[in-house]
Structure 1
């Protein structure tokens, strides 16, 4: 049975808990700021004419710079130059972040609007190994709230015993070969560690 209207959906789940409403604010509280500063990883979601995009962003903890309680900056590090997220933001500034801290089961959700900056004064402090990013994403926060621990507890995401040996799953080269049969998976996988090591920043 399909649910295709708001009333039926809300009836299926019942009322929203008081805490779920109280936790949503339009700025970074001191507690939310602490999570942002401790995070080495987030997922950035954007939307554009071609569809939706969700992409990982990661660096040492504190890489999400808190400019003030309503504004954050995420450096855009080297990658594959597809720039799907950035192209989306130029055309539709709406963004969403899922901020994560290893070992912490709660996550932080930030919604707002993004703009791309090349301002050296903003990007300079994000330099690593003397290399500043080409651009950065400045997000004007509209809402912030934490997500409870259930999803990460159910998934055992931070449980070392739940980790899968890398060799049990397809390598990057094998994944490329599954998309393009003529691709040289072995050569790609052999060169990948060195390429990643020399192109992180």
Structure 2
């Protein structure tokens, strides 16, 4: 059962860098040493083994965080400074792409099931429709509409504490559907019952599988 939340007092809000650094102290020197401006061999191997990443962007309407996933290695390494990320089929909101047109800054967080460490990449992206590039990412005879060409500015791994605290890869601890709202329930609540509900949930898993690419 989640603990009851309360609103924090504004009297305890940090407002300066000095206050923040006084509270946390100096960073572990190793946290800086692990950061590079390109993919090392181990960092490349991590990217190539990852089936899931979270893409963060920012634009005129604020920030966005978008899940991306496919078979391991779906984000390809063009060279030690460049990643290629296909934009697979979705709902056509294209929030991430809109943001990149306004501000090319991006961040990626790579996760591998069963592995505690994650990999963080910061850089800039451009949107490519190069036909030869798109063809190289064909799956089941379908090509993505665009490819993000990401220029790496920094890359480093994150230790496993967050994953361990979350018990993220423990199959016995994973949430069951009971108590977790369905996609249809969330859509109905957000849209004032104009969309969603049980009719949306009916056959959703099959619809997702049929429209992956």
* TM bracket, shorter-chain basis: over 0.9
Deviations 1:6-47 (A, max 9, x none): 111011111111110100000000000010000000000000
- Residue 111 of structure 2 corresponds to 100
- Residue 197 of structure 2 corresponds to 185
Q: 1:195: how far off? A: 1.8
**What stretches of structure 1 move > 4 A for 4+ residues in a row?**
none
How has the CA–CA distance of structure 1 residues 105 and 184 changed in structure 2, closer, same or farther, with 3 Å as cutoff? closer
Distance 2:132 2:177 in 1: 40
TM-score, reference length from structure 1: 0.97
Q: 1:48: how far off? A: 0.3
Unaligned runs of 5+ in 1: none
Q: 1:186: how far off? A: 1.3
Q: Does 1:38 align with 2:76?
A: no
Q: 1:184: how far off? A: 4.6
Matched position secondary structure for 2:57: strand
How has the CA–CA distance of structure 1 residues 184 and 123 changed in structure 2, closer, same or farther, with 3 Å as cutoff? closer
TM-score, reference length from structure 2: 0.92
Count of residues in correspondence between the two structures: 201
Distance 2:205 2:166 in 1: 28
Distance 2:185 2:178 in 1: 11
Q: 1:125: how far off? A: 1.8
- Residue 76 of structure 2 corresponds to 65
Deviations 1:93-134 (A, max 9, x none): 000000111111000000000000111222222111111101
- Residue 124 of structure 1 corresponds to 135
- Residue 112 of structure 1 corresponds to 123
